[in-house]
Structure 1
Amino acid sequence: MRSPSPDLSGLTWRKSSYSNGGANNCVEVADGLPSVVPVRDSKAVAGPVLVVPAGAWAAFVAAVKG
């Protein structure tokens, strides 16, 4: 059974520090949801949002930093 989609309205998005300000590498994430991390392409803000479980996002970030 799928969990209901979180309400993404009103979130504050921030560009990932790994995007380095480049025009072609624009990943944004939003904070404020306790169990998930929404991720989107800043060049397509009206496009789809990938909603990642917080634990999986933390593991991904740790792997990227490592």
Structure 2
Amino acid sequence: MNEIKELMQTDTFTSREFNRKLNESIEHGWNSKVTLDFLYVAESLGMVKCLGQTSGNQYSWKITS
């Protein structure tokens, strides 16, 4: 999870922020559906925790490890 922490420069972030940072860091972009799928898998592994839905249909996440 250190990679995500380094990418985001924070422990708490929204899925939109995560998606934007990933798009900036990889050559061909990243689909927002794939972002949510990735974060749900990371949550099931105990790496992040969903803090709930924010305004604008976004989800807030916190790195747990």
TM (norm. structure 2) is 0.26
Higher relative contact order (CA 8 A, sep 6+): 2
Structure whose CA Rg is larger:
1
